[in-house]
Amino acid sequence: METLEPGEQPFHLVDQRQQRIYKRLGTLIGHGAAQYYFDACRLMSEPQGLATRSHVVAHILREVESMIRQSLMPPISSGDAKDGGKTVTCPCCGEPYETGTESNHCRQIEYIVETYQWNGPNAATSGWIDRWKETAQRNKQTSPARWAHRHNLDAPRPSDARFEYFVEHMELVFDEILHRLEITYHDVVGPRMEKLLKHDPQQGAKILKNRLPNSPAVIKTFFSRLDDPRWLKPLAKGGYFSSPPQPTAHDGVVLVPRWPQADYLKRMASTPSPDVQDTVGEILAEIAPGENVYLRVDLIDIALALRPSNALGWVKRETERINLETHLDRWPSHNLVAIVPHLAQGEQEEAALALAFALLAVFPAMDEQTRRWGDDLTIRVDEHDYDELLRQVVDMAGRQKAGVAAFRGLCKLLDQVLRIVHRSSDNARAEMIDGSGRHIESIGGPPTRIQDTEDKLIWAVRDAAETVIKVEALSVAHVVKELEGYNWKAFRRLVLHVATSFPDPSLSTRLLTNRASFDYFSQEYQQLLECHFGSLPPEAQAIILGWIDAGPDVEAYKSGWQRTLGRTVTDAEAREFADDWRCQRLLSVQEWLPPDHLQQLERLKERVEPARRKEQESLKRPKVQPPPDPRTADIDDIVVFLRKNTDEDFLTASGFHNQLAVAVTADPERFARSATSFLDSTPSGLWHVLHGFHEAAKAKPSFPWEPVLELCDEALQITAKRHDDCGSEARTTWADVRGRVASMVNDMMHWHSKHVPFSCRKQVWKLIQELASDPPPDDEGTDYGSYADLAMASLGNTCGLALHAAVGYAVWVKSSVGEHWQGFASAPEIKELLEKHLACTSRAIRAVYGGNYSRLAHLDLQWARQNAAQLFPASRGHTDPMFQAAWLPYIACSRPRSVLLDILRPQYALALEVVSDYDSVRSGVENPHKSLADQLMWLYLTGAIGMEDGGFVNRLFIYAPDGLRASALRWIGRVLADGDELGGEVIQRVQDLWEWRLGEAHRLDRPAELREFGYWFASGKLPEEWALEQLREVLEYACPANAAHRVTERLADLAPRFPLSAMRCLSLLLKDRAAAQGLARSRHTRAILKQALASGDASAAHSAEEEINRLFVDCLADHTDLLREDPN
């Protein structure tokens, strides 16, 4: 990362060739070479740079060229020099080569080119080898040595046109070398690494550092294959474990890299050898993970594989680091929890406790608005891990070495929590605001509620105190002294619990005669009093009985009630409180009371117990007849029970209403026969019966409908009357019954009409007519922002539901009369009802017409045509509320039909004018512009409309933004994928549309929509060669393509017949790094590569080899094993 001076702007490479060279240097040679080159480019970009810029830049470029040669030449072994040290043998491959100055610089270049077979016909044509050799000849203007060194005492050479030509020459050489290296990378480094792994580690580490490319691919491959522990120390000395990678931001995305060395260290940590364990432990202790979350998890795994003593150094550093953070990523914190028992089992209890308490630390949460610390807690780990850590610390309290430290640490942690939660900064103020432990009824009992952090710690301190006493790590006196060092009620209760669990007469006497504990009278004090009052000295008993005789502080009780409830306590209420207070305490010690106090207790019980009984009686409900089981009881018994019991709260609480609805749903025939018997029920009872029939219609619609429809009719008559003569609460209840009937009739007509006998036509229409007489909703001023809002409004009132049901009724009648249907002339009642509400100004009612317009046209095309202008008033503009109320439901719910397009051409044209308002966030039917585009695409596919100038399709793609155009093309792709075999005419229209859009994208330079061709291609419905050619063009122009995984799968299917085309498309797909991350390792990618290598097509095989090397270089996937397979 470059260091910037104040006010200095960061430098970025703009030239594409420079970007390419920089990237390839980093991935092929190493980050060091890339940094050198980056600085050279930066110096060249400065308009008023150094006077010596030509010399400095030339030196840098010379170093870069030297680093490339050094990484490609085999290492020199001192024992192999011959003929005056000019000829040496490569210890990796055994091939001889010469060393020296200028002439041997050229020979090194020749050796590299010949060894890696870079001298093919293309090399001779481009002349790049000759250009590279010129860099070694000092008499040439293109030699970096000539430009780098001074000439006697002359001034620095100017950065003129000749110098720029030199730089251009060097960049051309770098670009060609690195391109050749990239496409043959595994062939270059693979064999050398295999031989390197067999080297002596001392020499091998030097070769790895100085003679092999220090690239990510080399490092990853080397460490993935290394299993020899002898390499640990040489590699550590070479710095391979000292600088792990850190997260980087790329295009707004944070990339967290893996560290290949970690996997090698894991394998070595599992080695039982003590020496190896010691070495890994030393290395581990020096690794700083920084912000790399993956590395932190890897280091934890290494520590778990080591013996605890060897992991100690890392644990101490990790503990120090944790203490500097307030929150840990969940993944590392979860893994860290496993370190604690690992250390404890290895007798490293001190380190285990230090780590555990670092993870258990708590902090006050900050209010983001006031930026002040609140009384809520923040913990470093999640709750599950927190509970597990507490359990581990309590377990360590049972160890002789760690028990005391574990117990004391938990006490300190609880004190910290109480200081935060109860906002106390010192013990002197604790009594004033102490609410510690208020949720725990009895510390000695099991947890009875979901615990917060405070409660969990109280239980943990209790368990740790009991444990250290049982293992004799501390005496009872020492534990009590430790707990009494904290002036919180929770700690005082813990002391009382310890005294009860581990009896000590002197301790019990001291605690029971403590006035503060007596006044608080916690469960623990009461338990200690009940157990040990009889064994107290007489003077101690007298003190306690004297406190009971004195009674409570009545004035404090009165003031407390006045402060919290705002009312004055009467003298009688104060006496009742005092009597109850004394009675409770005397009952705790009644076994040891003297006669006078026994008599006092009896008098108190006579006064207190009647009041308690009266209070309990007031809470009891009057006895009622238990409800019958609706599943088995006789219908008459159920009806009688409903008539006698009108207590809605009881019927609901007992579950009878729900049971009744379930019984009706399960056996509708039995209840249908006596349906009208339920008319005398309460509104809630009748509602649940109707609900049962409604649910039954969904599951078992073939039951007797006549009595159920009669029940609905009578219920509507009752609700109409009750609207007039019941209070507001009753009207709401009976309105619910009316709404239930409306919902049931609507669903019946739309979903279950074929099960309703046509003989019930009059009954059904009577219900619809009655429901439609309800007033429409007054929605003036209501903002219906979407189709969903309008749909909810139209279904949220009985009038709207009735009109929905009327349309379903019309469809039912039409299907029943069959060919005799003559439009609304066959059902004039429907026409009369529809036209009655046609002029209604309620937009919720207008939405019913819009959403059902396609059905209405199907029922009576002439009526739909005649009323289209009134329903969809296009003349008022697209912002007109009534137009929107009809258009939004229509475009969302209607299937595209050419006849509707003919009727509503002005409305479609009006909608097209505003498609530029397309909002990509709203999806599905919520987006009217997308629904419009989908309809037009369907009409185009069916041949109803074409692509003529000024037509709907043409205007759609002219007015629509990128997102909507892409959505339209994506819809066609999905139709292709989901549909059956399509006819030739449809396929031709699809191809014509695509070629038009491709040409327009090139003409207007708008490639975004072309990415949707991925869906088209993946469908497999288009001509194969045409589809491959179009995909290639899209990827070259608009990469990446959407649906990349499906595209790759389709390419794998086509690879046996078109290996070269499939390979070219795959290479273009993988150019996008985001797509390559997901595609590189897929089985379809591997299948394409394998098929290209075995195809017999030299171009396809060469392309596959290059792509395999690129994936290997970028550490995306290792398919190099395919290069070693026999293609035959």
pLDDT of res. 1048: 95
Residues 171 and 188 in one domain: yes
Q: How far apart are CA 186 and CA 375, in angstroms?
A: 60
Q: How far apart are CA 737 and CA 742, in angstroms?
A: 9
Residues 178 and 216 in one domain: yes
Which amino acid, 679?
L
Q: Looking at the predicted structure, is the pLDDT value of residue 722 above 80?
A: no
Q: Looking at the predicted structure, is the pLDDT value of residue 330 above 70?
A: no
- Tell me whether residue 330 is in a domain: no
- Tell me whether residue 92 is in a domain: yes
Beta strand pairing call for 87-89 and 253-255: unpaired
CA distance from start to end of the chain: 49
Q: CB under 8 Å to 751, separation ≥6 — which residues?
A: 697, 698
Q: CB under 8 Å to 134, separation ≥6 — which residues?
A: 140, 142, 143, 169
Q: How far apart are CA 1065 and CA 201, in angstroms?
A: 44
Residues 439 and 519 in one domain: yes
Q: How far apart are CA 737 and CA 128, in angstroms?
A: 89
Beta strand pairing call for 253-255 and 248-250: antiparallel
Can you list the pairs that 189-193 forms with residues at least 24 positions away whose Cβ atoms lie under 8 Å? 189/213, 189/217, 189/218, 189/221, 190/221, 190/1120, 191/92, 191/93, 192/74, 192/92, 192/93, 193/218, 193/221, 193/222, 193/225
Domain-ending residue, one of 225, 260, 279: 225
| Of the candidate ranges 297-306, 374-383, 678-687, the one whose mean pLDDT is the lowest | 374-383
Residues 536-572 as b/e (b if ≥16 CB within 10 A, e otherwise) read: beeebbebbbeebeeebeeeebbeebeeeeeeebeee
Residues 171 and 43 in one domain: yes
Q: Looking at the predicted structure, is the pLDDT value of residue 101 above 70?
A: no
Residues 194 and 63 in one domain: yes
What DSSP state is assigned to residue 925? G
- Tell me whether residue 824 is in a domain: no
Can you list the pairs that 948-954 forms with residues at least 24 positions away whose Cβ atoms lie under 8 Å? 952/901, 952/908, 952/909, 952/912, 953/993
* Model confidence pLDDT, tens digit, residues 449-462: 557 888 899 999 99
- Structure tokens belonging to residue 1021: 């419905």
- Tell me whether residue 1044 is in a domain: yes
* Tally of domains in the chain: 5
Give Cα 988 distance to the centre of its chain. 43
Q: Looking at the predicted structure, is the pLDDT value of residue 833 above 90?
A: yes
Residues 408 and 436 in one domain: yes
Q: Looking at the predicted structure, is the pLDDT value of residue 1080 above 80?
A: yes
- Tell me whether residue 365 is in a domain: yes
Residues 514 and 571 in one domain: no
Q: How far apart are CA 509 and CA 529, in angstroms?
A: 10
Q: How far apart are CA 572 and CA 150, in angstroms?
A: 111
Q: Looking at the predicted structure, is the pLDDT value of residue 616 above 60?
A: no
Q: Looking at the predicted structure, is the pLDDT value of residue 516 above 90?
A: no
**What does pTM read for this prediction?**
0.73
Question: 786 vs 76, which has greater pLDDT?
Answer: 786
Q: CB under 8 Å to 630, separation ≥6 — which residues?
A: 638, 656, 659, 660, 662, 663, 664
Helices (H), 894-1011: 898-903, 905-912, 928-941, 952-959, 962-978, 984-1004
* Model confidence pLDDT, tens digit, residues 224-275: 999 999 999 999 999 999 889 888 877 677 888 889 999 999 999 999 999 9
Residues 566 and 485 in one domain: no
- Tell me whether residue 111 is in a domain: yes
Query: Percent of the chain scored above 90 by pLDDT?
Result: 52
- Structure tokens belonging to residue 43: 């110096």
For the chain, the average pLDDT equals 86
Domain-ending residue, one of 773, 799, 826: 773
Mean pLDDT of 588-593: 87
Burial class (CB in 10 A: 0-12, 13-18, 19+), 598: exposed
Residues 578 and 676 in one domain: no
pLDDT of res. 790: 87
CA angle 491, 495, 499 (to 5 degrees): 165
Q: Looking at the predicted structure, is the pLDDT value of residue 998 above 50?
A: yes
- Tell me whether residue 75 is in a domain: yes
Q: Looking at the predicted structure, is the pLDDT value of residue 882 above 50?
A: yes
Residues 481 and 570 in one domain: no
Domain assignment of residue 1093, given as a range: 985-1004+1015-1124
Query: Is 708 in contact with 700 (CB distance < 8 Å)?
Result: no
| Of the candidate ranges 342-346, 894-898, 1040-1044, the one whose mean pLDDT is the lowest | 1040-1044
Residues 58 and 156 in one domain: yes
pLDDT of res. 713: 94
pLDDT band at residue 292 under the 50/70/90 scheme: confident
Mean pLDDT of 192-196: 89
- Tell me whether residue 392 is in a domain: yes
pLDDT band at residue 11 under the 50/70/90 scheme: confident
pLDDT band at residue 222 under the 50/70/90 scheme: very high
Residues 560 and 680 in one domain: no
* Model confidence pLDDT, tens digit, residues 381-440: 888 889 999 999 999 998 888 899 999 999 999 999 988 887 644 444 444 467 777 778
Domain-ending residue, one of 190, 225, 260: 225
Q: Looking at the predicted structure, is the pLDDT value of residue 467 above 90?
A: yes
Cα torsion angle, 41, 42, 44, 45, sign: positive
Question: 73 vs 867, which has greater pLDDT?
Answer: 867
Helix (H) or strand (E) holding 367: strand 362-367
Mean pLDDT of 1025-1052: 90
Q: How far apart are CA 850 and CA 873, in angstroms?
A: 12
* Model confidence pLDDT, tens digit, residues 119-166: 876 555 568 888 998 888 888 888 888 888 888 888 888 888 999 999
pLDDT band at residue 333 under the 50/70/90 scheme: confident
